[in-house]
Amino acid sequence: MRLSQFHLATVKEVPADAEIASHRLMLRAGMIRKLASGLYTWSPLGLRVLRKVENIVREEMDRAGAIEMLMPSVQPKELWEETGRWEKFGGQLLKIKDRKGQEFCYGPTHEEVVTDFARNELKSYKQLPVNFYQIQTKFRDEIRPRFGVMRAREFLMKDAYSFHLSQDSLAETYAAMYQAYVRIFTRLGLTFRAVQADTGAIGGNASHEFQVLADSGEDAIAFSDGSDYAANLEKAEALAPATERPAPAAALQRVDTPTQKTIGDIAGFLKVSPRQCVKTLLVRGRDGLVALCLRGDHEVNEVKAGKLAELPGESVLASEEEILAATGTRPGFIGPVGLSASIPVIVDRDAAALADFVCGGNADRTHCTGANWERDARITRVADLRNVVEGDLSPDGKGTLHIARGIEVGHVFQLGTKYAEALGATVVDETGTPQVMTMGCYGIGVSRIVAAAIEQRHDEAGILWPEAMAPWRVAVCVINPKNSPAVGAAGEALYQALLQRGVEAVLDDRGLRAGSMFADMELIGIPHRVVVSERGLAAGTLEYRAREESENRPLSQDELFALLG
């Protein structure tokens, strides 16, 4: 590509509210322009990068045996009513009406459509297993779109759906997809982790997220330094402490705590560690309120809590009125000591190992010290209720856990029969008996990957693309060709030679000053730069610089070709 024939539109200034590096740099490089909240136009430059990602994803999906297709982005309400998701999906579902008043949604995902396709197309076990995928635009009406294409409302996604008659077959395809994802993110040149993920309300047996590691990531992930264990924070199990609960040593006392409501207040006021306090959360159970007790320095894990048999499937905190009615006091003073017998007390493993602890006194302005389980407070059940923290033992017993931030760019999921059941997607087995198919689904956020890569790889000057994602591999910058026809010709010749060797090159023939060219090529992250100048011509060398290096290297043309492979 000759830049004089391209639309490169870098800018120096960027809105003050573009907060994260990838958003700022994508705007500055002119890769994207905002059309409306959460909606972005991909410029020719941005699209080149997006296509690089898309093509790698496509190649690896094909290699793994998936079959590409394309489904509509607009989907009829009736289909979504069959699975109950027209109502259940919530505000993220963008609903639209056609001129006849028929209702549709702009597809946030395609389980309904692909399962409808499958129930019409797939009739026999001989057609299974099969794995359909598409690369397509999705729309989710996010509560708060932000960070540019990182959390946009419209985005490009690869989604695959596999159909099986047996769990074994599903597990096989799942493993193949997992391996394909490893290949994809490795080829893209990203630092990533595959982490165990919660399967959520859908159930199923296995789910992994693929997280690109970056400090600005919205997700927290836990990984072991002694094994390959990695899980997102929602899923990571907190093991029971190794030491047994000490015997009670202190007597139960009530203390006046007029204004101290938070663990921080209490610990400071009583001069104890938050680790020696128990915090009590009242949540709505299936049958009245349920108390959850955790150590003061720990945080409740709502996913784990939601799975408790006593809860209705989700963890919702009780209102102040409900708490007042059930305990006679307000949030801030609740505790397990003397709590109404009708409230189950579910205690986190670490909180259960405390003795002589501090907790709310179930009366306004009152806390207890020297409290002990069994002697002063009931334990209905001990469970893992908390988020793991840095330094916890790894659940597999090997090493300790560390917490990192990640950007979720892929998710593989064993769905089971939920959608096939709802939509009646069956095939006949060897005996001629109809069987509901079992499904897997596998997503990759194609547009998000572009932003995630920038988060991971950028510097003051701009983007540092991995070679596989760069809009071009090499930039040929020609200095002052107008004053020296020989320089212009040499630049042109080098550009042609690179193209002939199959090296994706861009010729900066815009006639700009050197500084402007360099700044642009660095901003848009071209991995290799070659300068053709009178100086170099005289010396018989090309001036090469890698994007991630700060020094030039004089190279012959052969050396350059060797370096670029």
Partner RNA sequence: CGGGGUAUAGCUCAGUCUGGUAGAGCGUUGCGUUUGGGACGCAAAAGUCGGGGGUUCGAAUCCCUCUACCCCGACCA
Identify residues 511-540 at the interface with RNA (CB under 7 A).
513-516, 518-520, 522-523, 531, 533-536
- 145 near RNA (CB under 7 A): yes
**159 contacts 136 by C-beta, under 8 angstroms:** yes
> Which residue number, 120 or 342, has a Cβ lying nearer to RNA?
342
Q: Which of 81, 98, 320, 390 binds RNA (CB under 7 A)?
A: 320
Task: Please say whether the dihedral angle defined by the alpha carbons of residues 83, 86, 92 and 95, taken in this order, is positive or negative.
Answer: positive
Using the minimum distance from each CB to RNA, give the nearer residue, 453 or 523: 523
270 scored as a contact of RNA (CB under 7 A):
no
Strand-pair category, 219-224 with 67-68: unpaired
- Residue pair 445/475 in contact (Cβ under 8 Å)? The answer is no
> Is residue 113 within 8 Å of 72, Cβ to Cβ?
yes
Listed in sequence order, the residues at least 6 apart from 469 whose beta carbon sits closer than 8 Å to its beta carbon are 49, 52, 53, 188, 189, 450, 453
State the burial class of residue 279 (Cβ atoms within 10 Å of its Cβ: 0-12, 13-18, 19+): buried
Query: For residues 38 and 129, which CB has a smaller minimum distance to RNA in the complex?
Result: 38
Does 144 sit near RNA (CB under 7 A)? yes
Asked if residue 279 binds RNA (CB under 7 A), the reply is: yes
Which residues, 199 to 228, sit near RNA by CB under 7 A? none
Binding status of residue 10 toward RNA by CB under 7 A: yes
Question: What is the greatest pairwise CA distance in the chain?
Answer: 94
Under the binding rule (CB under 7 A), the answer on residue 141 touching RNA is no
In DSSP notation, 250-313 reads S--EEEE-SS--SHHHHHHHHT--GGGBEEEEEEE-SSSEEEEEEETT--B-HHHHHTSTTSSS
Minimum distance from residue 333 beta carbon to RNA (Å): 6
Closest distance to RNA from the beta carbon of 18 (Å): 8
Per CB under 7 A, contacts with RNA among 79-138 are none
CB of 176 to RNA, least distance (A): 35
Strand partners, 410: 210, 444
Binding piece for RNA, criterion CB under 7 A, among 78-86, 145-153, 224-232, 432-440 = 145-153
Q: Residues near 110 by Cβ (< 8 Å), separated by ≥ 6?
A: 71, 75, 134, 136, 159, 161
Is residue 282 within the footprint of RNA (CB under 7 A)? yes
Minimum gap (Å) between residue 146 Cβ and RNA: 4
Helix (H) or strand (E) holding 158: strand 154-164
Report the 10 Å Cβ neighbour count for 137.
Answer: 13
Query: What CA–CA distance (Å, rounded) separates 70 from 136?
Result: 7
- Is 317 a residue that touches RNA (CB under 7 A)? yes
Partner residues linked to 134 by β-bridges? 159
| CA angle (376, 380, 386) in 5-degree steps | 100
| Nearest to RNA of 347, 425 (CB atom) | 347
> Which residue, 52 or 298, has its beta carbon nearer to RNA?
298
| Interaction of residue 345 with RNA, rule CB under 7 A | no
* By CB under 7 A, residue 349 contacts RNA: no
- Assess 187 for contact with RNA (CB under 7 A): no
Residue 16 lies near RNA (rule: CB under 7 A) = yes
Is 545 an interacting residue with respect to RNA (CB under 7 A)?
Answer: yes
459 binds RNA (CB under 7 A): no
Q: In this structure, how many other beta carbons lie within 10 angstroms of the beta carbon of residue 63?
A: 13
Q: Which residues inside 22-51 make contact with RNA, applying CB under 7 A?
A: 28, 34, 36-38
Joined tokens for residue 492? 């042109």
> Could you say which DSSP state residue 392 is in?
P
Candidate ranges 180-188, 232-240, 259-267, 557-565; the one touching RNA (CB under 7 A): 259-267
Site size for RNA (CB under 7 A):
63
Q: What x-and-dash track marks residues 474-503 binding RNA by CB under 7 A?
A: -----xx-xx--------------------
Residues of this chain that bind RNA (CB under 7 A) = 10-17, 19, 28, 34, 36-38, 143-147, 261-263, 279-283, 296, 299-300, 302, 316-318, 320, 323, 331-334, 360, 461, 479-480, 482-483, 513-516, 518-520, 522-523, 531, 533-536, 543, 545, 552
